[in-house]
Copies of this chain bind each other. A is one copy, B any other.
Amino acid sequence: MTEGQATSAERPVYLVEPWCVREPELRLDRLAQSESVFALSNGHLGMRGNLDEGEPHGLPGTYLNSFYEQRPLPQAEVAYGYPESGQTVINVTNGKVIRLLVDDEPFDVRYGRVHHHERVLDMQAGTLTRHVEWTSPADRRVKVTSIRMVSLTQRAVAAICYEIEPVDAAVRVVAQSELVANEALPDGGKDPRSSAILDHPLISEEHVANGTKVLLLHRTRQSGLRMAAGMSHQIAGPESMAVDTESSPDVGRLTVATRLEPGQKLRIVKYLAYGWSSQRSRPALHDQVVGALAGARQTGWDGLLKEQRTYLDDFWCGADVEVDGDAEIQQAVRFGLFHVLQAGARAERRMIPAKGLTGPGYDGHTFWDTETFVLPVLTYTSPGAAADALAWRQMTLPLAVERANQLGLSGAAFPWRTIRGHECSGYWPAGTAAFHINADIADAVVRYVDATQDERFEREVGLEILVETARLWRSLGHHDVGGVFRIDGITGPDEYSAIVDNNIYTNLMARRNLQAAAETAMRHPDLADRHGVNAEEAASWRDAAAAMLIPYDDRLGVHPQSENFTNHARWDFAATKPDHYPLLLNYPYFDLYRKQVVKQADLVLALHLCGEAFTEEQKVRDFDYYEGLTVRDSSLSAQTQAVVAAEVGQLELAHDYLGETALMDLHDLNRNTRDGLHIASMAGAWSGLVAGFGGMRAGGGRLRFAPRLPGGISRLAFRMWYRGNRLRINVTAEAACYELLEGPGLKLSHHGEEFTLADEPAELPITQIPARPAPTQPVGREPAPRRIDPHGRAPGGG
């Protein structure tokens, strides 16, 4: 996954506030970005922040998790094992639309005069609020306020409270609240990173209008999925109102016409409900949506708001991060946590896509991003959501076993990219060959179990995943004549190398996978037996793990990312023009693959996730070496570089990388936030702070911290869950204070020193470390600096 980086400094689109993202004026030039930033989702239902009136728009979008259409995956030269069709997320029936006519003139911000236009995403309330004051071309002035929510408590439900009032003179207003299926979408362009946009993917099956309620039912053409969207309304306004509803195959409409005197308001509460199924009948789905609407109406608008806030209060009390000294990062880490939660909260045994439900980028697929970058955050802040995401992987195991079998391997080969579990990658060297995703999933299982001691999960979900992925590794690797266990011909995280031998990240993660499977099987012999694991198989996993090859370049004194990597020519960075990044859009894969150039942290990701395999000195040398090669053409890279930079004492550099991951979407750094948010980067803000400056590492029941702050951050405090304990760690330049907010207490480690945390907070000192020279990055690829100027603004960030 790759993006182009923006460099020009522009006036900020959003104000920097600790709990809100506020757009103080409507920026039509950033409309599509804002639609992603202001997207609301509960992980099941997602709505982009499109304007209520539908137009103008960057990209209209309403998504249901795992509701997709098939599309062909053509190949100039077909070969065995290529997937024949892909899956792509589709824009489902749009229930956000409320059009308004003011004295017959449509309310449209492109016409007339906008006096005031403000939108606020409130991360404590879980709402998007909009205030507009507008004069029509015919000189009628109105105020429009809308509050939108996608309920975190009622999974099928969204709601909008829409109010209109005249400002100085009476107006005749007509409001049209709609459901619109098969909206026309703008062209996707040719960038392979954008979604394949499908025209008219929905076929009408039923439409009903009844009272203030309208339902539209559709199914997809190829994938054969059925969906229903319904709306229901509560209307308050002058006594004389004409209300009408109608439906047609692709449009449902409620129309309210009235005349408002100054001081009068028209208020429409629109309840929306969605459902989909690959199996349930039309009547069943119909009733399901009608039921959800009834439930929402019963709760009422104020009730929904209250539930939402309670849900979020609960979340923040175990997840909040406070940052003093860098207000942008403070906002960004909460923004990131909010969107990570939105992506996973109610996904409930469905996948978490790379873009969440905020846009159609990457066809709506999930990748290893989820397990490697997003689930660590959920594991320690909202563990149930992490368990659900892994339970979804388990549900897809039959497909992964089938895929492994097709590839001539044992166990399970999870897809590189997918919506429903089928491999949808059209380029195998950077798809199927990237087997590390299997170890990444296994690692997420190990991490979750370590963090929660959820034995039921381990037995019902975790063990099977560990066993099947261990079987994969055992069959993918082999012992050479010297007895070393090799994993040849695969692709590691860095997508500027492919089909390599003994990628260190992959080998270390496979080792962990094999060990964990063997240990877990030993812990649950009854279950292991049911999965066909005997003592010999478990022994063969332990042996392969113990014999795993980890190449080392003695000549340079660094670890090669994979065998032979450090013998390759270095990329000629000096000759590479700034506008030739991302490189993959300007150079052929063959050239990238055979040279030392790194798209994204790979060996450095191993330094983070498998730190126990490296000495401190190796970490320093390796990090320096790969800094000189890493161009960060993937948005996944900066957070890992932030974490490892902090670990090796490059605190200012870590702060710079943190800025890049945290502000990826708020500043649209890669110029593709329009296609959806980078959920992994959103998670990266948390990781950069907690794993980076907090030095948090966990595993084997041990939770360790090694906090140390950069100059620009005067205080960092974060909350997290570990084994039933809710903790708060407050870090300053001099000391860290550990506090148990809830739970039985636990052993922790602070900079290598173990201590027990119980009722009493523990304050421990932080020693300064001598500065080392900073490593250099490829010319022009340095992260933007976050040095704080006297007024507290970060010049590079905003």
- A interface residue numbers (CB < 8 A to B): 73-81, 86, 190, 192, 406-409, 425-429, 432-433, 478, 480-482, 486, 488-490, 498-499, 501, 555-556, 563-564, 567-569, 584-591, 593-595
Contact = CB atoms under 8 A, between A and B. Distances in A.
A569 B478 contact: yes
Given A588-B407, A588-B428, A591-B408, A568 B489 contact: yes
Contacts of A563: 564
Contacts of A567: 480, 486, 488, 501
B499 A593 contact: yes
Contacts of A568: 486, 488-489, 501
A489 B498 CA distance: 10
A587 B405 CA distance: 11
A339 to B, nearest CB: 27
A75 to B, nearest CB: 6
A773 B587 CA distance: 50
A490 to B, nearest CB: 7
A403 to B, nearest CB: 10
A593 B489 contact: yes
A241 B412 CA distance: 77
Nearest to A497: B489
A78 B406 CA distance: 25
Contacts of A564: 488, 501, 563-564
17 contacts: A75-B75, A75-B426, A76-B86, A77-B427, A79-B584, A79-B588, A79-B589, A80-B587, A428-B589, A429-B429, A432-B588, A486-B569, A489-B568, A489-B593, A499-B590, A501-B594, A564-B564
A587 B426 contact: no
A166 to B, nearest CB: 53
Nearest to A480: B567
Top 4 A-B pairs ranked by shortest CB distance? A489-B594, A76-B426, A74-B74, A81-B588
Given A76-B86, A79-B427, A432 B499 contact: no
A80 B590 contact: no
Contacts of A481: 555-556
Given A75-B75, A568-B489, A594-B488, A587 B408 contact: yes
Nearest to A549: B567
Contacts of A432: 588, 590
A572 to B, nearest CB: 9
Copies per complex? 2
B585 A80 contact: yes
Contacts of A480: 567
B594 A427 contact: no
Nearest to A501: B564
B588 A80 contact: yes
A718 B591 CA distance: 46
Contact of A590 (B77, B433, B589): B433
Contacts of A556: 481
A590 B76 CA distance: 18
A377 to B, nearest CB: 29
Contact of A76 (B74, B406, B478, B486): B74
Contacts of A78: 190, 192
B488 A192 contact: no
A490 B488 CA distance: 17
A84 to B, nearest CB: 10
Nearest to A576: B408
A569 B593 CA distance: 22
A667 to B, nearest CB: 27
A360 to B, nearest CB: 16
A480 B566 CA distance: 9
Nearest to A76: B426
Contacts of A427: 75-77, 79
B428 A489 contact: no
Contacts of A585: 80
Nearest to A570: B478
A564 B488 CA distance: 10
Contacts of A489: 568, 590-591, 593-595
Contacts of A486: 567-569
A481 B490 CA distance: 26
Given A76-B426, A488-B569, A501-B568, 11 more contacts: A73-B76, A74-B74, A75-B426, A77-B426, A81-B588, A407-B591, A432-B590, A433-B590, A489-B595, A490-B594, A499-B593
A192 B82 CA distance: 13
Contacts of A490: 590, 594
Contacts of A407: 588, 590-591
A527 to B, nearest CB: 30
Nearest to A81: B588
A76 B722 CA distance: 43
A586 B74 contact: no
Nearest to A568: B488
Contacts of A594: 488-490, 499, 501
Contacts of A406: 588
A594 B499 CA distance: 8
Contacts of A77: 192, 425-427
Contacts of A429: 429, 499, 590
Contacts of A591: 407-409, 489
A192 B75 CA distance: 10
A794 to B, nearest CB: 34
A310 B478 CA distance: 63
Nearest to A80: B588
Nearest to A593: B489
Residue of A486, A563, A564, A590 most packed against chain B (CB within 10 A): A590
A567 B484 CA distance: 10
Contact of A80 (B76, B81, B499, B586): B586
Contacts of A589: 79-81, 428
A2 to B, nearest CB: 11
Residue of A76, A78, A86, A585 most packed against chain B (CB within 10 A): A76
Nearest to A79: B589
A432 B588 CA distance: 10
B76 A588 contact: no
A80 B74 CA distance: 17
Given A569-B488, A590-B432, A79 B192 contact: yes
Nearest to A484: B567
Contacts of A593: 489, 499
Nearest to A479: B569
B501 A408 contact: no
A427 B428 CA distance: 11
Given A428-B590, A588-B407, A76 B75 contact: yes
A154 to B, nearest CB: 39
Contacts of A586: 80
Nearest to A191: B78
Contacts of A409: 591
